Amino acid sequence: MIFKRKIYDKLLEWKKLDAGRTALLIEGARRVGKSTISEEFAKNEYKTYIKIDFANCNKEIKELFEDTSDLNRIFLRLQLEYGVNLQEKESLIIFDEIQFAPKARQALKYLVADARYEYIATGSLISIKQNIQGILIPSEETDIKMYPMDFEEFLWAMDDYSTMKIAKEYFLRGEALGESINRKIMDKFRLYMLVGGMPQAVDSYLSTNNLSMVDRVKRSIINLYEKDFNRIDPTGMASQLFHQIPAQLTSNSNRYKTWQASKGNSFLSLAEIITEMKESMVVNISYHANDPSVGLAFHSSPEKFKMFVGDTGLFVTLAFWDKDFTENIIYKKMLANRLPADLGYMYENIVAQILVSSGHKLYYYTFPTETGKHNYEIDFLISKGHKIDPIEVKSSGYKTHASLDNFYKKFSSRIDREILLSPKDYEDKDGILFIPFYDAYFI
């Protein structure tokens, strides 16, 4: 099934503004829909196109791009191989899974300069050092990132084109939707969290209405990620760190304890692997801000971080990886709106996912309580002009918000607005903006 995706508008913008002067590189984790959207774009916006799948093409096609001295030979060979008549200025060539053909990526410099055709490349783990060693990365690239389907795209897949549009209008007006409507939207949002935004999982849900089948699809995607992680690190440490994400979040620690998750390995010994995991876009990482002010990146600790799964639907499956689907209480509890307090970390994961896909960098902040025995924690910090917005995540009740209150006491001059995310309807009270989780897309 072909789903409507927001990134399509960015592809149109690239085509119009760059007009063939650059190649477009779509980066994203495996199975987020990069290949599908690029081919759909090619069908709709060009007279003809060729799609080269470098993960599955023959050796001769890859070797074509090792010598770019005769572009006529390359284009002729491609047209014969794929049975497509390329037309100057009206054809697109897609380099799919280009990380498997580094020389083809390097060749884009000369292909773009030739200007006969336009080019889109897609890649997973595209930034991993093993995939770009010994090649010249072309400056003629325009990069965009693609993420799993967001909540609005999920609703579009179910032929609901009005819910998020109306929710945004009310948010911008500073008005509540009403608890009855909010409950209905939150029911859909919880379903989205369970299914996730991977197009295959969404397609499985729509075609079967069976969460067990959806879970099976998500497990196959996680298995694929494991293979990718083993390319990063054949020792299996990257895969182990990935599988430990739910346990690390459940522990309520103020950081991801690498030594605990990896049986004694220090952060320094794992730093490169963790960076490559982040670049793969399979995980999202939030760094501790030592000084919560504008310019968060200048005051963050690379060794003190939290790790989230890039898609919350995959997070749900990962949390019960060693159990049969029928034992997965998350599905039952979430659908009944009775999620236990110890599973509230799911909401942190979805907020991290929303913020990243909205263009925010992830930071959080902890500081000691008055007794010094515990810590207050601001789950997320985002920059807003010359100020910052502290964000607290509550999976159920929201009447108490000690972390926000005490953060305000310490840093009131730095704060634009305090935000508390929960399942409850919109309310602006006592200087705090209380909003439901789906409104996080608008902050």
pLDDT for 317 equals 95
Q: Which two tokens stand for residue 340?
A: 């236990």
Burial of 66 (0-12, 13-18, 19+ CB in 10 A): exposed
Q: Is 35 left (phi over 0), alpha (psi -120 to 50) or beta?
A: alpha
| Radius of gyration for the alpha carbons in the chain, expressed in angstroms and rounded | 23
Q: Which two tokens stand for residue 50?
A: 């060729």
pLDDT for 138 equals 74
Quickly tell me which residue has 């995310």 as its tokens.
Answer: 421
Q: How far apart are the first and last CA of the chain?
A: 31
Q: How far apart are CA 143 and CA 216, in angstroms?
A: 32
Q: Which helix (H) or strand (E) holds 118?
A: strand 118-123
Cβ 205 vs Cβ 156: under 8 Å: no
β-bridge mates for residue 271, sequence order: none
pLDDT for 385 equals 87
> The pTM is what?
0.94
Q: How far apart are CA 345 and CA 302, in angstroms?
A: 22
Quickly tell me which residue has 């280009």 as its tokens.
Answer: 98
pLDDT for 125 equals 74
Give how far the C-alpha of residue 258 lies from the chain's centroid of Cα atoms, to the nearest Å: 22
Q: How far apart are CA 248 and CA 243, in angstroms?
A: 10
Per-residue pLDDT 10s for the chain (443 aa) are 899 999 999 999 999 999 999 999 999 999 999 999 999 999 999 999 999 999 999 999 999 999 999 999 999 999 999 999 999 999 999 999 999 999 999 999 999 999 999 999 999 876 555 566 666 677 788 999 999 999 999 999 999 999 999 999 999 999 999 999 999 999 999 999 999 999 999 999 999 999 999 999 999 999 999 998 998 888 999 999 999 999 999 887 889 999 888 888 889 899 999 999 999 999 999 999 999 998 898 889 899 999 999 999 999 999 989 888 877 778 888 888 887 766 779 999 999 999 999 999 999 999 999 888 889 999 999 998 899 999 999 988 778 899 999 999 999 999 999 999 999 999 999 999 999 999 999 99
Q: What does DSSP assign to residue 77?
A: H
Contacts of residue 316, Cβ cutoff 8 Å, sequence gap at least 6: 193, 194, 196, 218, 328, 330, 331, 346
Nearest in space to 54 (alpha carbons), one of 89, 93, 28, 111: 93
Q: Three-state SS for 71?
A: helix
Q: In what order do the strands lie in the sheet with 91-96?
A: 48-53, 91-96, 118-123, 23-27, 141-145
Q: Three-state SS for 203?
A: helix
Cα angle 308-243-306, degrees, rounded to a multiple of 5: 30
